[in-house]
Structure 1
Amino acid sequence: MNIIIITPAGPDSKAGNRATAMRWQRLLQQSGHQVAVETEYQGVQCDVLIALHAWRSAKAIKAFKAAWPGTPLIVVLTGTDIYYHQHEYPEVTYESMDLADLLIGLHDLVGKDIPKRYESKLLTLRQSADKPEAFGGSRLEPGQFHICVLGHLRDEKDSLRAAVASRHLPDDSNIIVSCAGKPHSDEWRERALQESRSNPRFRWLGELNATELGTLIAVSSVMVISSVMEGGANVISEACRAELPILASDIPGNRGLLGDDYPGYFPAKDDRALADLLVRVESDEEFLAELKKRVVELSDTFQPEQERQSLEKALALVGQPKA
């Protein structure tokens, strides 16, 4: 099939939407499809259009359906779609969802957080990650217990929550928090720099390339995901495939991937509760081992082949284009 993927994130972006679009392009091409990734719809005919983000891609969605009303449209719901835009901009967001022939949710609880009328057109898909190559060095550097935080620095990610939590740790803790990601604004850049200067337990590494990110994951003992809203974070896929234990904010987007019985949750925005969990993972080997056991058990659900098959299922559900 000839497929166009629309993502609001530009070619130079390392945002999640761009990464998803490029990964899906690769997976769909492996299945024999022709796939183009665009930031705007140019009016070109195709067999299926996949739009990432109901609200941010609304213009492209409307233009496509106006030009080709009989051609299948798949709309992928992001975290901000589900937990912000559908409430703040319902007319635009719901119009995109109404125009879609199929909606894709990226975690298991999406159906509970959108209107029931969309239930019949919702397909859940888990984003995948490659299993990293074995890292030659020790995960634990002598005298340090590494915590990593990955992702763009922005309000939705509550990106410095682990840094703030580290200020509550006892003096004898060996925890170091390393945060990798591009700041969403000058304000976030200044906040990260200030935290790095004033907090000896915190390092902001800026935006890293894939190799550098892989090394950071490999030398870390735990990943913290502190978001206040998520549509299904790909960093969870990466951590599980790397067998890296996770401490996650207790929000639907994380529960929808890790499960209700996952033991590593803390209340969103609660740095004291996160600090307590950080102390526990550093000092309680059995608890850390249990977290690792859980992510290892989940690892197979984030395989690229499974994601490719889910994409093929989505294409089969919308069917061939109408004449």
Structure 2
Amino acid sequence: MRILFLACLRANTGNSTTADRIKSHLEAAGHECELRDSAGLQCPLEVAKLVSQRKFDAGLAIHVYKAGRFLLANRIPFGVIFGGTDINEDVKNEEKYRVMRAVLEDARFAVAFTNKMKKVAEKLWPQAISKIHIQPQGMLQIPGKTHIFLLICGLRRVKDPLYLVEAFAEWHERESSICLAIIGPMVDPLFTNEVKVQLHNVDGVHLIEEIPQADLQALIKRSFAVVNSSLSEGMSAAILEAMDLEVPVLARNIPGNAAIIRHEHTGLLFSNPKEFVKLAKRLMSEPDLKRKITNNAKNYISAHHSWELERKTYQNLVHICLTEEL
């Protein structure tokens, strides 16, 4: 079967790595899967022409609005995967909400990463309740005294990368071994410039442009902890990767993060910069706590974010997409 897979494919982002992983699942089942960047598409008719020319049998999209809308007005069956932006941001826009409702009406299935995300989606689109499945993101098995805290995010406002900067600058002034590295693609050029201006004279905080995935994984392993300060998240791939690599995570206490982090068990959740510093210092001074968190997080990933289970789920859903009637 030939599958058209639409997703935002900016290099070295969570969406891109998730799409590559799911693509490999489908190809392992014998399907031919063509991955296309939804950011370069203009309208559903453009995709309809592509479907006709390439003779695709089915479609799949990550993000109901950003990618799923391009599968409307096509005759092929398709499924969609909810992104955090769908649930947390795009629903606030009346037109985007209307489009997402139309996409979910036509979709054969929809995937939510967490039970919380599924419940929110069911409340927003009750007509799609029977179509929504839960499948956490799977993880691949990946084989000085400076304390580097690593914040991995695309530079856009919803990721709020400046949230902890002042606290880190003050902490670094007292303890020079403390550093924050903000790393990721420059998604929003205007906001990126704002970030660069604000960090220009700040000591202890470093802005690093996106790097290849293998290099990023090596950097995660060398860091003391991975940080997430987002205003909203669906399911952070950076958090999952850190857990899998046995690096502790300190994350802002928002629903998307709390869905995968149990405070003081698989990670630490903070509600403000002052609390972040308090928890980070505790993590540094209590090696048993760090050991407990990383061990529990690794076990959590193995139990709930299985790469093999994710593969089976998407293979089964695509099979359903082709064989079940609407």
Give the TM-score normalised by structure 2.
0.85
User: How far apart in 2 are the matches of 1:294 and 1:52?
Assistant: 29
Equivalent residues of 2:266, 2:297 under 8 A apart: no
User: How far apart in 2 are the matches of 1:102 and 1:259?
Assistant: 29
- Could you tell which deviates more after superposition, 216-225 or 52-61? 52-61
Query: Per-residue displacement from partner, 1:39-69 (whole Å, max 9, x unpaired)?
Result: 34223343321122111225412122xxx1x
Structure 2: unaligned runs, 5 residues or longer: 42-46
Q: Among 152, 155, 164, which residue is 1:153 paired with?
A: 155
Q: Which residue of 1 aligns with 2:44?
A: none
- Could you tell which deviates more after superposition, 287-296 or 246-255? 287-296
Q: C-alpha displacement at 1:220, in angstroms?
A: 0.8
Q: Which residue of 2 aligns with 1:138?
A: none
Q: C-alpha displacement at 1:168, in angstroms?
A: 4.1
Please state whether the residue corresponding to 1:169 is helix, strand or coil.
Answer: helix
- Could you tell which deviates more after superposition, 286-295 or 176-185? 286-295
Please state whether the residue corresponding to 2:203 is helix, strand or coil.
Answer: coil
Q: Which residue of 1 aligns with 2:260?
A: 257
Q: Which amino acid is the alignment partner of residue 180 of structure 2?
A: V
Q: Which residue of 2 aligns with 1:303?
A: 306
Q: Which residue of 1 aligns with 2:207?
A: 204
Q: Among 37, 40, 44, which residue is 2:35 paired with?
A: 37
- Could you tell which deviates more after superposition, 148-157 or 309-318? 309-318
Please state whether the residue corresponding to 1:36 is helix, strand or coil.
Answer: strand
Q: Which amino acid is the alignment partner of residue 73 of structure 1?
A: F
Q: C-alpha displacement at 1:80, in angstroms?
A: 0.8
- Bigger fraction of residues in helix: 2
Q: Which amino acid is the alignment partner of residue 20 of structure 2?
A: M
User: Taking structure 1 as reference, are residues 87 and 188 closer, same or farther at Cα in structure 2, changes over 3 Å only?
Assistant: closer
User: How far apart in 2 are the matches of 1:309 and 1:203?
Assistant: 40
User: Taking structure 1 as reference, are residues 218 and 195 closer, same or farther at Cα in structure 2, changes over 3 Å only?
Assistant: farther
Aligned-CA RMSD value: 2.4
Indicate yes or no: 2:63 matched with 1:53. yes
Q: Which amino acid is the alignment partner of residue 100 of structure 2?
A: T
Indicate yes or no: 2:105 matched with 1:98. yes
Runs of 4+ residues deviating >4 angstroms: 259-263
Q: Among 275, 278, 291, which residue is 1:276 paired with?
A: 278
Indicate yes or no: 2:142 matched with 1:132. yes
Q: C-alpha displacement at 1:242, in angstroms?
A: 0.4
Please state whether the residue corresponding to 1:153 is helix, strand or coil.
Answer: coil
- Could you tell which deviates more after superposition, 43-52 or 209-218? 43-52
Q: Which residue of 2 aligns with 1:241?
A: 244
Q: Which amino acid is the alignment partner of residue 252 of structure 2?
A: S
Structure 1: unaligned runs, 5 residues or longer: 134-141
Give the TM-score normalised by structure 1.
0.86
Q: C-alpha displacement at 1:322, in angstroms?
A: 5.9
Equivalent residues of 2:267, 2:297 under 8 A apart: no
Query: Per-residue displacement from partner, 1:217-268 (whole Å, max 9, x unpaired)?
Result: 110121011111111111122112101111111122122223476551112x
Q: C-alpha displacement at 1:281, in angstroms?
A: 1.6
User: Taking structure 1 as reference, are residues 131 and 165 closer, same or farther at Cα in structure 2, changes over 3 Å only?
Assistant: farther
Q: Which residue of 2 aligns with 1:136?
A: none
Equivalent residues of 1:168, 1:275 under 8 A apart: no
